[in-house]
């Protein structure tokens, strides 16, 4: 109920900010005084999200990586993880292709509007920073972890966190370290829950920040924002519909030789639960029940694969993030090349692993994508401000996509491994 109330509050704040902003823009009045007073309330929300994103990613990934399968369950566990990775990669590629196709914020008239409204850095300077070679990006992934944490090098933080979690899992199987690792993981889990509680506090403030950011953005940019908003929303929704109704069915039809739409009909309840609650965690009990009772999947795999999927499998986020990256590129004159697109896909897949269990996790991961584009803090704040307004709408579709992908993966791997009761099915 609290989550539903918060969604309603954010939506009302967004509409109120949009209406006030458009009225101020149409009135052609001097808004400098309004911006000076109201803007800090929005900037505080962005700053709080930036404050929390690194500990969220760091602790979530360590906890998630440490939950990989034991030796006895290694082969099936590897299949699950590979399937999750491949679907996330495909979703990131699909999201990038759709982003290029819809190209939100593009067009000569739109570009002229951005230039007249936004005080950007030197375009060539931004482009040269953003379009690093793949070799540079690869090298930057292996940085001193303390330096990475201090400098906010998200890719290095992600790589180290996953490696550290896997290392903990491996040494936990040695008798002399088992108890110690268990204690450490319990501490990490408590720390993660404490961080999530701070996230709840930040989200409780979010209606105020959303109103401030939305009203300031629309007062400054006016109707220039409507086109990108509509394009972006349609692009994300179409991408998610394509994943659920085309990509997943094709994967099941090719690998399992079954009617995929019969499977989708059986999992409509957890899909709807995820859509309404916007939470993979809230849909997890329903997913587990449906996996056991309707799909007849062995609990040996569903009890592992579904919770893991709610942590690391974020296909909907992989569709979402490239859209905002292309919008940012168009707004701030960042040249999009094959290399920068490849980096975007890689960053999106790696970043999406850290979104699990975090309310509004895609917003936090947006910082990773935008920072990797070498945008300034002010420019990142503009894009995050735009994302905050429509995130509740997009988040419903994303979460439904995520939960669907979790169940499809679990069913497919179980079917291929002989862990589905064929007679009962």
The whole-number mean pLDDT for each consecutive block of 10 residues of the chain, a chain of 425 residues, reads 68 87 86 88 82 79 71 71 89 90 71 51 42 62 82 76 85 86 90 84 86 84 71 89 93 91 90 77 81 86 79 83 87 79 80 59 74 78 76 81 92 88 63
Predicted confidence at residue 122, as pLDDT, reads 44
Residues 6+ apart with CB under 8 A from 220: 21, 25, 31, 35, 117
d(CA 45, CA 39): 10
368: nearest Cα among 382, 348, 385, 338: 348
Two structure tokens written together for 280: 């993979």
Predicted confidence at residue 68, as pLDDT, reads 63
CA distances from 250 to 247, 264, 399, 412 (A): 5, 12, 21, 12
* DSSP codes, 237-298: HHHHHHIIIIIHHHHHHHHH-S-HHHHHHHTHHHHHHHHHH--HHHHHHHHHHHHHHTS-B-
d(CA 266, CA 390): 30
Predicted confidence at residue 124, as pLDDT, reads 40
- Quick one: DSSP state of residue 341? H
Render the burial of 197-222: b for 16+ CB within 10 Å, e for the rest. eebeebbeebbebbbbbbbbbbbbbb
Residues 6+ apart with CB under 8 A from 305: 80, 406, 409, 410, 413, 414
d(CA 299, CA 248): 22
Residue labelled with tokens 């969604």: 7
Predicted confidence at residue 399, as pLDDT, reads 86
Residue 57: half-sphere exposure toward Cβ, Cα within 13 Å: 30
Residue 234: half-sphere exposure toward Cβ, Cα within 13 Å: 10
Predicted confidence at residue 129, as pLDDT, reads 44
Predicted confidence at residue 127, as pLDDT, reads 41
* All domains in the chain, ordered by first residue: 3-416 (1.10.3860)
Stated pTM of the model: 0.70
């Amino acid at each position: 109920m609290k989550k539903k109330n918060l969604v309603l509050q954010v939506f009302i704040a967004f509409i109120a900010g949009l209406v006030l902003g458009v009225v101020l823009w149409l009135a052609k009045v001097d808004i400098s005084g309004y911006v000076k007073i109201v803007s800090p309330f929005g900037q505080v929300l962005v700053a709080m999200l930036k404050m929390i994103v690194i500990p969220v990613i760091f602790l979530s990934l360590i906890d998630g990586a440490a939950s990989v399968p034991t030796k006895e369950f290694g082969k099936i566990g590897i299949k699950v993880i590979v399937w999750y990775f491949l679907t996330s990669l495909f979703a990131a590629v699909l999201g990038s292709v759709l982003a290029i196709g819809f190209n939100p914020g593009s067009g000569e008239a739109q570009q002229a509007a951005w230039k007249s409204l936004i005080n950007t850095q030197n375009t060539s300077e931004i482009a040269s920073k953003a379009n690093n070679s793949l070799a540079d990006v690869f090298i930057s992934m292996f940085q001193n972890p303390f330096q990475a944490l201090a400098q906010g090098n998200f890719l290095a933080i992600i790589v180290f966190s996953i490696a550290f979690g896997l290392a903990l899992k491996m040494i936990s199987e040695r008798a002399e370290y088992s108890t110690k690792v268990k204690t450490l993981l319990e501490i990490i889990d408590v720390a993660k829950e404490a961080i999530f509680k701070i996230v709840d506090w930040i989200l409780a403030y979010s209606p105020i920040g959303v109103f401030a950011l939305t009203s300031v953005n629309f007062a400054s940019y006016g109707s220039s924002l409507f086109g990108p908003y509509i394009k972006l929303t349609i692009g994300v929704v179409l991408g998610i519909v394509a994943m659920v109704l085309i990509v997943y069915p094709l994967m099941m039809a090719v690998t399992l030789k079954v009617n995929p739409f019969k499977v989708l009909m059986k999992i409509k309840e957890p899909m709807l639960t995820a859509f309404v609650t916007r939470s993979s965690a809230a849909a997890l009990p329903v997913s587990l029940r449906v996996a056991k009772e309707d799909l007849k999947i062995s609990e040996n795999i569903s009890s592992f694969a579904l919770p893991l999927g709610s942590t690391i499998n974020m296909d909907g986020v992989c569709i979402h993030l490239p859209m905002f990256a292309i919008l940012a590129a168009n707004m701030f004159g960042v040249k999009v090349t094959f290399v920068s697109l490849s980096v975007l896909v890689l960053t999106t897949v790696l970043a999406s692993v850290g979104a699990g269990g975090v309310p509004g996790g895609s917003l936090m991961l947006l910082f990773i994508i935008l920072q990797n584009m070498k945008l300034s803090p002010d420019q990142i704040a503009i894009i995050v401000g735009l994302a905050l307004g429509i995130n509740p709408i997009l988040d419903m579709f994303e979460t439904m996509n995520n939960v669907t992908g979790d169940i499809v993966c679990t069913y497919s791997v179980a079917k291929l491994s002989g862990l589905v009761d064929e007679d009962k099915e």
